[in-house]
Amino acid sequence: MGGHNAKFMMTAERAEISLENRWNVEALYPSLEAWNKDFITYQDWPQLTTFKGRLGEGPKTILELLKYYLAIESQLVRLYTYAHLRHDEDVAHDGHKQIFIRITALLQKFREAAAWIEPEFLQLPQNILAAYLRAPELADYKIYLEKIVRFKPHTLSVAEEELLAGAGLALETAERAFGALNNADIKFPPVVDSQGKEHELTHGKYATYLRSPDRLLRENAFKALHHTFLGFENTLCELIHGEIQRHIFFKKARKFSSCLQAALFPHQIDESVYLNLIATVRSNLHVLHDYMKIRKKLLKLDELHMWDLHVPLLSSVDIKMDYAEAEKMVIASVAPLGANYQKDLQTGLKEQRWVDRFENKRKRSGAYSSGCWGSMPYILMNYQGHLHDAMTLSHEAGHSMHSLLSWKTQPYQDASYPIFVAEVASTFHEELLLRHLLSQMSEKEQRAYLINQKIEGLRSTFFRQTMFAEFELKLHQLAEEGEPLTPTLLKAEYRKLNLAYFGPDVNLDSEIDIEWARIPHFYYNFYVYQYATGIAAAHSLVDVVAKHGPKEYLNFLSSGGSKYPLDLLSLAGVDMREPEPIMNHIRHFEKLTQQLLQEIP
């Protein structure tokens, strides 16, 4: 190992990252001691059981219960937020791992203790439930209670609900085990470039290498990463199978017809929205195939391989951006959303330290936005200095501003926006950044480079995520039919999808067959389709804002979970019940490919 260390720059240890480049977790709790003090305070909830058997007394009793229950829950979520942020800074840090496990267990204990509430509430006669929904005392909790009442056909007895709640932590084992393997235990070998120089391979650096003009480095990185996962194919197959069995268990227990219905029902999303996305994209894959043909031609390659799909088409241009510059561009790009919005974002990024900026050893891979009601948003980054990273910062800042406006405007019970709309604000931000950057550049090569990056963003966030959604649906359907999920089956199904989506101009290297094994989103229970629907909705909404101003869009961002997701989007000006936003987005992709050809010198 010592010989390798001398040949490439090693990733920093957490202690070597300066304070200004770390997120301000201390704003949640100034120390572990302060966290522990709160943890002890909220370990017991003696009043919770005093409400048992009393939910039919009237609106006043329901109001008292909701205030008590939600106050405890919000504090536990705050404790969890601090612990998970600390844990993700270095997933092998023993002290942070301990508090993360402790709060995860306490949340589970709280869920078990409160598991009687919904079934007892739903056992009340329908006329009493209807009266509660009309009661003036409960007006602030109307949508919260409506969402519970919708679950009446899928809620079990008090004893059965308590049993399900008690099993929750054990049933999350597959997801947690994958996270531990993917973020901490798995190690990749160094990779060699065309000059014989060795490079450290990490999750964060992998994306950078795939964009390198050095084709051998791209190939070696692609093969090394996927061969490493291939070495764990049986374990990873069992983990993903375990996650799907968890979904099947809940589907059966709650009397849903399918895992898909069980996942979409809580947010009042019809299965047709999911199936319509796949069908519409499937029938228009020729636009993606045409782009692959263009990519192959512009790169002047006899064979277009999977490791050639991310490298910029213009080798003479590589827009690099240090973090400070990216931050400045992201802030400037949101001007169409108004001065107050822009100021809030600037304050968060520049003064309040929302962002944990750079990669360090054992830091969680990827990027996300987190936080909780009553806190600032927190953004995890592994910034590497490329345009892609600036786009990722913009994306996560979109999530954070959505959260900030929801938290500012809505009470705790309505502040969490539904998953279905979660990707709208983030992809809206990306579109604004692209338009801003294009407005700053006059050189054809740079404009072509940016358009190419946008096309790649759409390919990965729209087409690729739809492919993931189709794969996820297929696995659940196979498992529901009793088909054994083996590594051979998973690789074969994944290969078939890649063949269909990428078309005849891409040489499907065998390593791509195992890619499913490294995708964390397959443990999120039908989450990925929302990237595709979200980006389609966001594209339509950018046009709405350009024509009519940001008022309705800002109302959408401020609405949190106070309405059902499809209704939220309808108020902002787009109807995702119809195929038109999906088709509109596919046409946009097609136009961008034509624009690219016009801009390339």
Bridge partners (DSSP) listed for residue 386: 320
Torsion angle in degrees (nearest 10) through CA of 569, 532, 143, 525: 180
Q: What is the DSSP letter of 303?
A: S
What SS3 state is found at 507?
strand
d(CA 184, CA 365): 10
Distance CA 406, CA 304 (A): 45
Give the DSSP H/E element, type plus range, for residue 137: none
DSSP string computed for 435-464? HHHHHH---HHHHHHHHHHHHHHHIIIIIH
Contact 412, 70 (CB under 8 A): yes
In 425-579, DSSP assigns E strands to: 506-507
User: Could you tell me how many helices (H) and strands (E) the chain has, helices first?
Assistant: 27, 7
Amino acid at 427: T
CA distance 91 to 373: 24
- CA-based end-to-end distance of the chain: 46
Task: List helix spans (H) across 283-316.
Answer: 286-298
Q: Which of 219, 396, 470, 599 is labelled catalytic?
A: 396
The residue type of 481 is E
H or E element in which residue 368 lies: strand 368-370
> In 179-265, at which residue ranges do the beta strands (DSSP E only) sit?
191-192, 198-199
Q: Is 137 a catalytic residue?
A: no
Show the 3-state SS of 533-551: HHHHHHHHHHHHHHHHCCH
CA nearest 86: which of 322, 363, 349? 363
Q: What is the DSSP letter of 386?
A: B
For residue 507, list its beta bridge partners: 305
Distance CA 286, CA 505 (A): 12
Residue holding tokens 């991310």? 310
Q: What amino acid positions are annotated as catalytic residues?
A: 396
